Structure 1
């Protein structure tokens, strides 16, 4: 592995912890991000010649911390700020569920303070916890990058001006943060499970971190079925990770080697879901987990219970209306009735314009109907819009399989 690849991996693994530590130290969100970025830039400059230091994560944390102290010393208010930091007691863990020094959990709850608009909470946490770029977060929310940049700036200003504390709230305040916190963990997992851009489809460090945070949330709120449902959902998806790529190529569900799935983890997740469903009315994360369980428990792709899955997506749409939910329902319907599935996809063209999943789904259903020239057109449309290299390679392979002209227009 090259030094650059090692640093890229460390960015995925360590970014959230470094930024969270600096925010706790300085109280300055922008300073924390800038100093963390400086530390990684220094690593890129120095490590190729000096070698990777022992404990590279600690090196990055120390370098970013020293950079923050240096910046504060040079600032006009630096002396006063340093005196304030020196006098500030080390904050105790706000709840015994927290692991020692787990600033990431505090950061997540700070980002999700109810004084912030919901979408700003989620976006800010993705930026600071996962190190996603503004462009990546904008794609996740289907908004322009400039809109997301302004949203992030306003959220940071609100935290600073309102003096929102950097801590896990007491139990009686947890329900006010629940929806946003679960949304943060879910989007964090999704970015790791299926990256919104770049050369890698899977960013393992992000999905692992999301599952770790999900387990902490279940311990923090053991009576909250949606927290348990989210954890089950993430574990069910993650159990299939080893089969989703082969030699860097995306392997669709239909072609995955199910012997590579972690069936022990699938059983654990189904048990979690069953326990959550016994606690009351199913919320959106429990319904999504039920859909994932249908896929993960099917002995083969041909035995997938598509009618049940389509019905669950219909139920999910009633809980959280979304064009992505409608897209998935259309796909599930189309697996049993391709013509009806295509008709449902036609209603999504405007809501998801510019998104590769609509033409990709259309191409697949057309291929299953044997309408290969039309499928080739749709595959080319999807290929032009796909955000990651593994997805582009998969679509190009499908196109070559059905079109004698291959990738030509």
Structure 2
């Protein structure tokens, strides 16, 4: 990679597996699905999802702040606070003008949209919150993270569907290599387990229909997969130049070695059947990182549990990485958190490198014979990983691949 090495110095996560990085990591390693029937989705064609375990945002943010934020922004701010603590950085003493924020979100503030829409139709315009517009803007999570952390550098939102969180990390890297910033708080957030979004995805045919057995529904690369399970999450990574990290005596969790981004320009929702854009993004990430394909020991796959996407990704992995590195999809446990998923999976890839552990793919009982990958199933695999890829793909043909390696 040209330019300075980029260090991942802090992580923060809230996922269906747990609140915080440690709880999420333990849940993902355990390999048990978090999908369950949701009362909020009762009566819909698909009535289950992967939701965060109960927590009260007001306990963390205070009642007034929590009240004026959509759930997606609440999660982003809480994850950012954890990530900064992990990085050993104190926003009260840093030069905020040198700190940037880049947060991805695929759908946005669906809780607020749907709640306020019902108020308008049921009770009239006087019952619509005056905070509606500030709450639903696509840039709101980034702006709220900046507000909470005194970050006065560039504050940006990325929207590349299910690759949004990964795209945010790419932009954050660029802000550091160009020396516009010294620290960037980056990642993704999504909280749209709501009736309208669920209905739209069901009508599209993207969701699993296993309403009788939600815990078995998300099964990436399995022969019996029938769609993904919607989830919610936020993940934040703190990125700095490695030279600056060393100067302040903080050891990074991993290095962001390279990035690759492409667009299929093929179909609004369907990937190119030969994985043209996926392969190109993987090659680009490897080249950017100065790595050979044989250097990769693990791939955290996009692995949505849909028939076509898993097949195309598997084909692309075999073509670009013929030495068959270990592959797993953490969506079997966490579901698909859309715009947050790329950041969640980037953080989990960093943890795999740091702890020499590869999470299993939940519910992978009978691997699709057409997939033919070195899949980690049932239990976590102990394996030293010096370099790994995190794949993220989204509607619109967006493809983002991130390469990480040991510090």
TM over 0.5: no
Higher relative contact order (CA 8 A, sep 6+): 2
Structure number with the higher helix fraction is 1
What's the TM-score, normalizing by structure 2? 0.31
Structure number with the higher strand fraction is 2
Larger CA Rg, structure 1 vs 2: 1
What's the TM-score, normalizing by structure 1? 0.30
